[in-house]
Amino acid sequence: MRDAGRLAAAIDVLTDIEERHRPVRMALKTWGESARYAGAKDRAWVSGLALDVLRRRRSLAWRMGEEGPRAASLAALRFLWDWPMERIAEAAAEEPHGPGPLTDAERAALATPRDLAEAPPAVRGDYPDWLDASLVRAFGDDRAAEGQALSERAPVDLRVNRLKTDPERALKALTPLHAEPSGVLATALRMPALDPTARSGAVEAIPQFSKGWFEVQDLGSQIAASAAGEVKGKQVLDLCAGGGGKTLALASDMGNTGQIYAYDSDARRLADTIRRGERAGVRNLQIRSPINPDPLKGLEGRMDVVFLDAPCTGTGSWRRHPDTKWRLTPETLEKRQADQDAVLDAGATFVKPGGRIVYVTCSVLPEENEDRVTAFLARTDGFEVRPATADPALTGRLTAEGYLRLSPRTSATDGFFVAVLERRKDPKSS
């Protein structure tokens, strides 16, 4: 495909997302099925432009002085991809595949865009207006800058699996992909963000990936798992295991000692945990499936660590899933808070005296983070907050209360919140 056809395809995909409120993956899949002629590079190009537009939809519209997929796509090519005006004009006007010649207004906006510095914080930060009050609570006057960081393309992070190898050997295996140590966790490696038109999947092509040497996992997610502390020989319950990313990180730290139990309310998601655990060489994992009656029976009051990767709005992962920020509603946020309260209450029943809850969200909203912990402590006796990390490389990210707050701007990770809540050995003691 030439530039003209690719540009028109990206605009069509974005129009489908906007008009039908569809996830970007579904819209791209539908387009791909109707464009059998498109090669892998064409699909990567269309996907890359669509995602970049979704990351910065509001600021691109502001600079153009016009809303809509076409205006945003043209602006992304000019201001994000650094295309010269001549190339954009040629792609737009080419017949029969281009989306149509540039108008005089479009040429003027591309040549002399509106000053983004004059835009409101929600426009500069590329997030919905209704979230501004929440982000003021989280970041204050830095909220626009934090939003901009959440609108960047994300790097590819890898977690080295100590059950199969060590960081030095893994780094050597990843030399072709230019991986580097993260500088935070010894087992965390990082590759730079891909060019928006590049194909993904290179990590899976490394032979050692199939051998279980490493997993793709955001650094923030790895840090959250490390907040469980010393887990060797312990009894650990991952109560919202999902696909098993943090389960496997915990298992690696456990070194096949103790026991880790993985549960999720969706049994289908646990199937992936089983497969990934086998590849990673995990031998101390028990899957507790909701298909079975009383799947968690016998674990009450016995766990050293209950890990709660709580369901949330995913506002911290906007770099990777930019379409979700435009579909998020106040009603969804309210529902997630109820889910989080229920998960915390359920998790508390499994913690033994002296044990701890590790409460994690990939959200930057206080309503899902500090507020949920505060509400839990107010209705639950016997728990107290402990610092979420003792790692000198991370203690600067602790809040005054001892919670860990991560964001792309401050820690170069996805947005995460971690609280460690310890059950006192004597619930009546203060």
For a pLDDT cut of 90, what percent of the chain falls above it?
90
Q: What is the mean pLDDT of residues 141-157?
A: 97
Neighbours of 54 (CB within 10 A): 26
Question: What residues are labeled active site?
Answer: 362
pLDDT higher than threshold 50 for residue 88:
yes
Q: Which of 17-31, 199-213, 222-236, 348-362 has the lowest mean pLDDT?
A: 199-213
Q: What is the mean pLDDT of residues 228-246?
A: 95
Q: According to the model, what pLDDT value does residue 404 have?
A: 97
42 is in an annotated binding site: no
Q: According to the model, what pLDDT value does residue 289 have?
A: 94
* pTM score: 0.94
Report long-range pairs for 16-25 (Cβ below 8 Å, ≥24 apart): 17/50, 17/54, 17/323, 18/68, 18/69, 21/327, 23/323, 23/324, 23/327, 24/50, 24/51, 24/54, 24/321, 24/322, 24/323
pLDDT higher than threshold 70 for residue 201:
no
DSSP per position, 51-63? HHHHHTHHHHHHH
- pLDDT tier for residue 389 given thresholds of 50, 70 and 90: very high
pLDDT higher than threshold 70 for residue 377:
yes
pLDDT higher than threshold 50 for residue 307:
yes
Q: How far apart are CA 201 and CA 313, in angstroms?
A: 26
Q: In whole angstroms, what separates CA 415 from the centre of its chain? A: 7
pLDDT single digits (tens) 100-123: 999 999 999 999 999 999 999 999
- pLDDT tier for residue 197 given thresholds of 50, 70 and 90: confident
Q: In whole angstroms, what separates CA 401 from the centre of its chain? A: 24
Q: According to the model, what pLDDT value does residue 393 have?
A: 87
pLDDT higher than threshold 90 for residue 415:
yes
pLDDT higher than threshold 90 for residue 219:
yes
CA distances from 14 to 10, 70, 72, 96, 395 (A): 6, 9, 10, 20, 41
77 and 35 Cβ atoms separated by less than 8 Å: no
- pLDDT tier for residue 180 given thresholds of 50, 70 and 90: very high
Q: What is the mean pLDDT of residues 305-324?
A: 97
Average pLDDT value over all residues in the chain = 95
pLDDT higher than threshold 60 for residue 428:
no
pLDDT higher than threshold 70 for residue 167:
yes
- pLDDT tier for residue 38 given thresholds of 50, 70 and 90: confident
**For the domain with range 219-423, which CATH number is right: 1.10.3720.10, 3.90.1170.50, 3.40.50.1370, 3.40.50.150?**
3.40.50.150
Q: According to the model, what pLDDT value does residue 255 have?
A: 97
Which strands form 156-160's sheet, in the order they lie side by side? 180-181, 188-191, 156-160, 214-216
Q: According to the model, what pLDDT value does residue 430 have?
A: 43
Q: What is the mean pLDDT of residues 40-66?
A: 96
264 is in an annotated binding site: yes
Q: According to the model, what pLDDT value does residue 127 have?
A: 98
> Where along the chain do its domains lie?
3-116, 219-423
